[in-house]
Amino acid sequence: MNNFFQKKYQKTVNSIAFYPAIIALGFLALCGLMITLDYSGQGKFIKGQLHWLRLKDASTARSIIAAIASGIISLTVFSFSMVMIVLNQAASQMSNRVLGQLIGNKFQQIVLGIYIGTIIYAFFLLSTIRDIDSGIYIPALSTYLLIFFTIFDIFLFIYFL
């Protein structure tokens, strides 16, 4: 029975989706922490001291986050379509050993995880913007961190190519 669990563990850890899933969960946790910071007294103090870190309009924040999410989705689809083309060519022209090395490439898995994590961060962040009678709740620090992630993703895309 122990051998069964070892095989399942090895299959899971060596899966192409293992690292992306772990990284995406990390981005989700980071988003939760950043939103908590945004609404805490410390976050309000930071936004009070640095006036350029404020977003006053909920629709502007929603537009920024939605544009980033759609852009990163397009970037992810393009990047990994290229990977699938390479895998298809490798599968038809080379041995199975080469294919296994291409699928097991940790760099590709990490890049995929960062892209997916950024998308999850954006969607989760988008769901937290409130425009209600008692006031507008915009997580500005989290939004600016998302903008930083997007810039990082663009440079990662260039390096990935």
- pLDDT of res. 118: 94
**125-158 burial, b for 16+ CB within 10 Å, e for fewer?**
bbebbeeeeeeeebbbbbbbbbeebbeebeebbe
- pLDDT of res. 102: 60
- pLDDT of res. 152: 94
d(CA 96, CA 105): 14
- pLDDT of res. 8: 75
- pLDDT of res. 57: 78
CA 123 to chain centre: 10
What CA–CA distances, in Å, run from 14 to 2, 9, 83, 104? 18, 8, 18, 7
Structure tokens at 7: 């095989």
- pLDDT of res. 104: 66
Q: Can you give the pTM of this predicted structure?
A: 0.82
DSSP string, 13-77: HTSTTHHHHHHHHHHHHHHHHHHHHHHSHHHHHHHHH-GGG----HHHHHHHHHHHHHHHHHHHH
- pLDDT of res. 5: 75
d(CA 130, CA 62): 10
pLDDT digits (tens, 9 = 90+) for 53-93: 777 778 888 888 999 999 999 988 888 787 778 777 766 77
Q: For the chain, how big is the Rg over CA atoms in Å? A: 20
Which residues, given as ranges, of the chain have pLDDT below 50?
Answer: none
Annotated domain spans of the chain:
18-160
